[in-house]
Amino acid sequence: MDWKGRDVISIRDFSKEDIEFVLKTAERLENELNEKGALDYARGKILATLFFEPSTRTRLSFESAMHRLGGSVIGFSSAASTSVKKGESLADTIKTVEQYSDVIVIRHPMEGAARLAAEVAEIPVINAGDGSNQHPTQTLLDLYTIKMAFGKIDGLTIGLLGDLKYGRTVHSLAEALTFYDVELYLISPELLRMPKHIIEELREKGVKVHEMTDLEGAIPELDVLYVTRIQRERFPDEEEYMKVKGSYRVNLEVLRKAKETLKVMHPLPRVDEIHPEVDKTKHALYFRQVFSGVPVRMALLGLTLGVLEV
Amino acid sequence: MPENLKIEVIPEGTVIDHIPAGKWLKVVEILHLTKPNGGTLLIASNVPSKKLGRKDIVKVEGRYLSEEEVNKIALIAPMATVNIVKDYKIVEKFNVEIPDEVVGILHCPNPNCVSNHEYVLPRFRVESREPLKLRCHYCERTIEGEEILGNL
Ligand SMILES: [Zn+2]
């Protein structure tokens, strides 16, 4: 696979080999970073972060990754401050920005915006979230976190908890996990079950799937519990949201039934799904998960820029 | 007289045969024949057919089809045959085919899809032909059945 110039738009474009290669490269970079403190693979290269809607964490993670690679960053963090507000097309914005930079990271409220940007741009484009569609770097960092915590992904029993209907991160994570030999517990309120077509796809690809509403029943089985927030803005109507908000709370009480080695993950920010008392236990993996974003994004930036020897 | 020209013969133009019964109006809409274009438009609906049980036939005088139009018809009438008529004779006959990609024909039903907001041709990958299932190249959402017909 030729990585130089490649776009990172959808986890659906990735093969298992691609995923493994990114994880391996991230691990290598993390080790180098620990050894040397700073790297200079991307010296002289410029990343443009185009955040048409705010997502401070994702933006900071990409910026940190580029700085740690020795490169520099330009960009904007809301469409309100740009010519987009005056009606400039996305294509024109991209064609302009690519004159200033070597790689583009885009976050956009419309589904498909990153794909369109990649078609327009000559330089690589990385999707940092397009509406409710894709957020491939999140999925890669989730996989990386699991791999670093357990040394493997195969053979694990993983629980996905919360909003499995609208949750973009759990959809792509589930799709990526079809490449591995895992058992999945899908734990959600009835109203927020994983879409049928994804469950069918999981089963077709040989993943053992259990659907349930009750967290306590599943928790003793799990190696990983991936918690998601039930987000009001994803609900078409308020009434549906009120019925399910606060359905699950992961606290010390719930975790008493868990394996000692259980790791809890969450694509932060959280509201009240995980009690802060869990933070100090060895179950908490969610801050390490945030950290994983840096080496994974360093790997993607370095590979697509073609500055890492492959 | 050939069997499929039973209703009326046209001197030249296109005969679209083996349209599923009841779908003739959609074909007429796709070809923008709802307003007279100078030539005769002949429609036969619910005609007995060996292949389909019942079928519709649309005959358009003085008009030939572009590949894009043929592909559009394939989405609603995958069994349709297209006959090119010149001088009262069928000079060419072919089956429609659902392509691997459907470009610029139907709109994405997702209102938040970038293809509905930017200057770009809508584009779908054919994920399955039977039943027909398309996936938007941009927003990655899949559409099937009536939703496809409604967005043609
Ligand atoms: Zn679309």
Which domains does chain B possess? 13-95 (3.30.70.140), 101-150 (2.30.30.20)
Average pLDDT, chain A: 93
Give pLDDT, residue B149.
77
Contact A89 B114 (CB under 8 A): no
> Catalytic pick from A6, A108, A115, A135?
A135
Q: Establish whether this prediction's ipTM goes over 0.95.
A: no
Is the CB of residue B59 less than 8 Å from the CB of residue B82? no
Eight-state DSSP code of residue A111: B
Which range is least confidently modeled, A34-43, A288-297, B32-41? B32-41
Is the CB of residue A144 less than 8 Å from the CB of residue A96? no
Q: How far is A134 from chain B (nearest CA, A)?
A: 9
Where, residue-wise, is CATH 3.40.50.1370 in chain A? 11-134+293-305, 137-290
Give pLDDT, residue B5.
46
Give pLDDT, residue B26.
87
Vertex A257 angle, CA A251 and A259, to 5°: 105
Token pair for residue B115? 């293809």
Q: Which residues of chain A approach chain B closer than 8 Å at the C-beta?
A: 10, 12, 89-91, 108-113, 115-116, 130-134, 197
Is the CB of residue A172 less than 8 Å from the CB of residue A199? no
- List chain A residues with CB under 8 Å of B143: none
Token pair for residue A114? 């990153």
Eight-state DSSP code of residue A160: E
**Edge-to-edge strand ranges of the sheet holding B41-49:** B41-49, B53-61, B13-20, B81-86, B89-95
pLDDT bin (cut points 50, 70, 90) of residue B8 is: low
The most confident of the ranges A136-145, B17-26, B55-64, B84-93 is A136-145
Q: How far is A93 from chain B (nearest CA, A)?
A: 12
Give pLDDT, residue A118.
98
Vertex A126 angle, CA A122 and A127, to 5°: 125
A137-290 placed in CATH 3.30.1310.10: no
Give pLDDT, residue A246.
73
Residue A58 annotated as binding site: yes
CATH topology (fold) of A11-134+293-305:
Rossmann fold (3.40.50)
Give pLDDT, residue B1.
42
Which chain A residue is nearest to residue B139, measuring alpha carbons? A112
Pairwise CA distance, residues A187 & A162, whole Å:
6
Per-residue model confidence as pLDDT tens digits over A51-68: 999 999 999 999 999 999
pLDDT bin (cut points 50, 70, 90) of residue A83 is: low
Contact B119 A113 (CB under 8 A): no
Instruction: Encode burial over A21-42: b for 16+ CB neighbours within 10 A, e otherwise.
Output: bbbebbbebbebbeeeeebebb
- List chain B residues with CB under 8 Å of A95: none
Per-residue model confidence as pLDDT tens digits over A272-295: 899 999 999 999 999 999 999 999
Give pLDDT, residue A235.
76
Provide the whole-model pTM.
0.87
